[in-house]
Amino acid sequence: MVVAAAEFELRIMESRSLKSKRQVLRSLKDRLRSRLNVSVAEVDHQDLWQRASLAVATVAGSESFARGVIDEVVRLVESEPAVSVLDVRVEIY
């Protein structure tokens, strides 16, 4: 069993309130879950309007498959126009 995880530090450029931030994050989290079947959670900066920290994890039978899923997660998050990725940390267990 292999667990792959990524943590993203994000800036939500157009956010003017916590409500608008939540809308952007909800859309991104739903897209990640439906397309890639991963677990996603906001893990820090819940009280800031333009910052977010998302954690994404997947479990797989092989390291290559887990790494491929996480690589696709990174591509999808980086292509999201509503957010700017400040930092990404990926770990394979």
Confidence class for position 70, pLDDT limits 50, 70, 90: very high
State which residues form the domain around 53. Answer: 2-92
Provide the CATH number for the domain around residue 31: 3.30.70.1120
**DSSP codes, 33-61:** HHHH--EEEEEE-TT-SSEEEEEEEEEES
Coil vs helix vs strand at 81: coil
Q: Quick check: 9 and 50 in contact, CB under 8 A?
A: no
Four-residue CA torsion sign, 74, 8, 50, 19: positive
CA 23 to CA 66: how far, in whole Å?
Answer: 28
Give residue-wise pLDDT tens across range 22-66.
Answer: 999 999 999 999 999 999 999 998 888 899 999 999 999 999 999
In the structure, what pLDDT confidence band is assigned to residue 16 with cuts at 50, 70 and 90?
A: confident
Mean pLDDT of 7-12: 96
Its pTM stands at 0.87
* Count of domains observed in the chain: 1
